[in-house]
A and B are shown apart, each in its own frame.
Chain A
Amino acid sequence: MDTVSNAVHYIFLGAAACFVLGLHLMNHPRTARRGNTLSAMAMAAAIAATVWLVADEGVIDRAGWLVLGTGGLVGAALGLWAAREVRMTAMPQLVSLFNAVGGGAAALIAINDLLQADDPAAIGARVALPGALDIVIGAVTFSGSLIAAGKLQGVVSGAPVVFPGARLLNALLPVSFVVGTVWLVLAPDSRTALYGLTAVALLFGVTMVLPIGGADMPVVIALLNAFTGSAVAMAGFVLDETALIVAGMLVSSSGGILTKLMADAMNRSVANVVVGGFGTGDSAPETAPAGGTPAQVRAVSADDVAVQLAYASKVVLVPGYGLAAAQAQHELGDLAQLLTDHGIDVSYAVHPVAGRMPGHMNVLLAEANVPYTQLKEMEDINPQFPQADVALVVGANDVTNPMARRPGNAISGMPILDVDRAKSVVVIKRSMGHGYAGVDNELYTDPRTGMFFTDAKQGLAQLKSAVREFVG
């Protein structure tokens, strides 16, 4: 190793340490932004060091510089534009898109490395094996993430898309990965194996994500994030760059942990989600309240609810998927502010799977100027429900269903918010339609529960003006 190469590798080591520190600083809202900045500066240093290394090695030609420069500028401009323009409700799509490009880039690196080798026949298993894994994981992530982003954006149907033979195909494709990988390791110069493996992996990404419903997206995005990290780490093995291995596996751990947390919070196993076929949260047709409404449901008006809220001393707000879908976070934030100004103790009970990716509801509420000190996680808020005068549920269904505490039904064992333990409950919901688990919510027929049938955004706006009448 010459001096420049040595220096560059020390810079990479420093950058890797900064990535770890940066992620560590993410454990508190106060330091999180500093952590992200530290991580970004480390990345900038690593990129600058790579430019230095490339220039010093002298193998790059003029076309190479052109490719490097224009590609970098075009990508940076696209990324900057997307990051600035994205709405907070569309954040899951953007993260999914970045997963796609990250995985795609990792796969392209392995493909290029295998294609460009001076003596393809001499590529050993040391490069061919991680290369094949990189292509498989990277290509699956690329096409899978694009489909996931399409589903979240509404370009691809959010409902599970199942075609005849899909299950069989999804069982057979992984077998072809094994065959393709072994083939590529035995014959690294085989173009058939290389292109075949890439094509099969791209196809699998599509057929894997298509049957998964919109409500399962928190798990899928976390899983694809873990995949991208692994693909990048494999690219690190191909290029013999430990910086890529470290950074890739950090991301992979993070994605893995979040996948597990999300799956647990939905009472599902990860395998169960990936096999898919249900989870229709995005498109469940809601029936009119008049239709099959059980007699014992008590419907209430905006004024009824406003009186309850205005004379409460402690209110717990329970935002759910319906709130995110109606983009009513600002209305809820305004209502909460109004109550807080009036001296009422307001907190938000946030279930881990509320929203469309891990912690998404917290971001939506932060956007609506909600102080993060009011955001309470499930285990912190549950003991407080018995003291709450009113629990206001906005568009959350399965996560509030007391049936989960009893065995023998679809949601048994699912961690829920103990909304039914509040002194009174108000549910804002468009209809008696089922949540994603497809079971009746016993909370709605509880005598202490009032149902306010309306769209989340309109309902909250009505509540806001009604409450203002009382506290004004």
Chain B
Amino acid sequence: MNDLDLLTAITVFVLSVLVGVEVISKVPATLHTPLMSGSNAVHGIVVIGAMLIAAESHDWIGWTLAFVAMVFGAMNVVGGYVVTDRMLEMFKARQAVPKPERSATGTREKAEV
């Protein structure tokens, strides 16, 4: 690893923090739980690291560590995205409710169950 690579990595690091702050501070409080669970799924990218160490392992210690890391990472990715989708589906289903034409009169269709 030479110094230029390290410099690039640090540049990416700093810019990512700034992009993250910029993008995330606009999310309304209503969506903070799905945001956290969705960003939780994003850190599941650690599974790629687990795959890379699985590829380089050639003894029992390595295989065991890589296996546990694979289980953890895959669980994080799949579970994180699925549960976020489940939550957001509930928000989305409600979207149709305020729209019906009669909403202005104060009456409102019952939300579907």
Interface residues of A (CB under 8 A from B): 19-20, 22-24, 26-30, 32-33, 35-37, 39-40, 43, 46-47, 50-51, 54, 57, 59-61, 63-64, 67-68, 70-76, 78-80, 82-84, 86, 88, 91, 94-95, 98-99, 101-102, 104-106, 108-109, 111-113, 115-116, 124, 126-127, 221-222, 225, 228-229, 232-233, 235-258, 261, 337, 340-341, 343, 345, 350, 352, 355, 357-360, 362-363, 366-367, 369-373, 375, 377
Give Cα A224–Cα B55 distance, bound, in whole angstroms: 29
Give Cα A264–Cα B10 distance, bound, in whole angstroms: 30
- Whether A229 contacts B39 in the complex (CB less than 8 A), given A109-B69, A126-B6, comes out as yes
CB of A71 within 8 A of CB of B71, answer yes
Residues of B within 8 A of A54 (CB): 51-52, 54-55
Interface string of B68-99 (1 = CB under 8 A from A): 11111111111111111111111111110110
CB of A102 within 8 A of CB of B91, answer no
CB of A91 within 8 A of CB of B87, answer yes
In whole Å, how far is A49's beta carbon from the nearest beta carbon of chain B? 9
CB of A254 within 8 A of CB of B35, answer yes
CB of B40 within 8 A of CB of A91, answer no
Q: Which of A20, A29, A345 has a CB less than 8 Å from the CB of B30?
A: A29
Chain A interface, >50% SS class:
helix
CB of A366 within 8 A of CB of B91, answer yes
CB of B110 within 8 A of CB of A337, answer yes
Residues of B within 8 A of A341 (CB): 107-108, 110
28 A–B contacts, CB within 8 A, in A order: A27-B26, A36-B34, A54-B52, A67-B57, A68-B66, A71-B71, A78-B71, A78-B79, A80-B82, A95-B40, A98-B40, A98-B44, A105-B47, A109-B46, A242-B9, A248-B43, A249-B13, A251-B20, A255-B39, A261-B32, A345-B106, A352-B32, A358-B33, A359-B33, A359-B35, A362-B32, A366-B94, A373-B98
Residues of B within 8 A of A112 (CB): 53, 57, 62, 65-66, 69
CB of B74 within 8 A of CB of A86, answer no
- Whether A248 contacts B45 in the complex (CB less than 8 A), given A22-B38, A30-B92, A341-B107, comes out as yes
Q: Which of A84, A101, A373 has a CB less than 8 Å from the CB of B75?
A: A101
In whole Å, how far is A464's beta carbon from the nearest beta carbon of chain B? 14
In whole Å, how far is A217's beta carbon from the nearest beta carbon of chain B? 12
Q: Which of A64, A235, A251, A350 has a CB less than 8 Å from the CB of B39?
A: A251
CB of B46 within 8 A of CB of A252, answer no
CB of A27 within 8 A of CB of B31, answer yes
Residues of A within 8 A of B71 (CB): 71, 74-75, 78, 101
CB of A71 within 8 A of CB of B50, answer yes
In whole Å, how far is B101's beta carbon from the nearest beta carbon of chain A? 16
CB of B90 within 8 A of CB of A367, answer yes
Residues of A within 8 A of B34 (CB): 26, 32, 36, 359, 363
